[in-house]
Structure formats: C-alpha cells, structure tokens
Amino acid sequence: MAGMGSVYQRSSDGRWAGKYTFTDPLTGKSKTKYVYSSKEGRKGEQEVRRKLNKLIEEIESGNLINANQITVESWLRKFLEVYCARNSGTTLDGYKNYIENHIIPILGKIKLRDLKPIHIENY
C-alpha cells in the first residue's frame, strides 16, 4: 500500500493535481484518489504535495475509510482477519461459525452507518 503518488499539472486547465493509487483493504480492489490545488504556479504545486502527503498518511494509517460503503458483513470479515488473527484455532472457528451462520445472513447487507440498536434488538 505504500507509495509516493504523483503530482502533475493538468494540460486542460493548468491546475495542479495529485494522484494516489492504493489497494482498498476492505474490498481488495485498486482505488485512485485525487487532490487538487486552488492556487496557481509553484504555490499550487506545493499545496498539492501537502494535500497528497496528508492523503497518503491517512490511507496508510487506515483512517481513510469510506464509511458510506462499509456493510456489517465486510466489517465482520475484516474483524476476523485483523482482530482475531491471534486467537486459537477453535476460538477462531467458533467466531467464524457464528458470524457466517447467524449474523451475516440477517444483518450482513446493512450498511454500518445505517445499523441501529433496533436492528440488534430485533436480531
């Protein structure tokens, strides 16, 4: 996921732009993010470099997550992969079984941002 990104001046309108391509940790798909400058000339280039560095830092630290897209299912799969990695085999198997057979079929398609206490109470 590490990288420098690229900074360039667009020929269409002369604006400075920055581009960073990375692998989305939730989907495994390649994504590209762009940043733009509101300034012209050298100051515009410097602004884009600052914005791009900040974007890369957010992505690599895991702070840039598109919360509108995350479902309960994708979060639970990430939970198993990251947070349960050190659990013993039988504990992990138990978690997987419960998540796959009980939680995901009922709550899995709900977007995480839309999950409400009533969903869990009704579950």
pLDDT for 55-109, tens place per residue?
A: 888 888 776 666 667 899 988 998 888 788 888 889 999 999 999 999 999 999 9
Which residue intervals of the chain are DSSP H helices? 41-61, 72-82, 89-98, 104-107, 117-122
**What DSSP character marks residue 101?**
I
Cβ-based neighbours of 91, under 8 Å, separated by 6 or more: 84
The domain limits of the chain are 6-61, 72-122
Question: How many Cα atoms sit within 13 Å of 97 on the Cβ side?
Answer: 6
Q: Is the pLDDT assigned to residue 37 strictly greater than 70?
A: yes
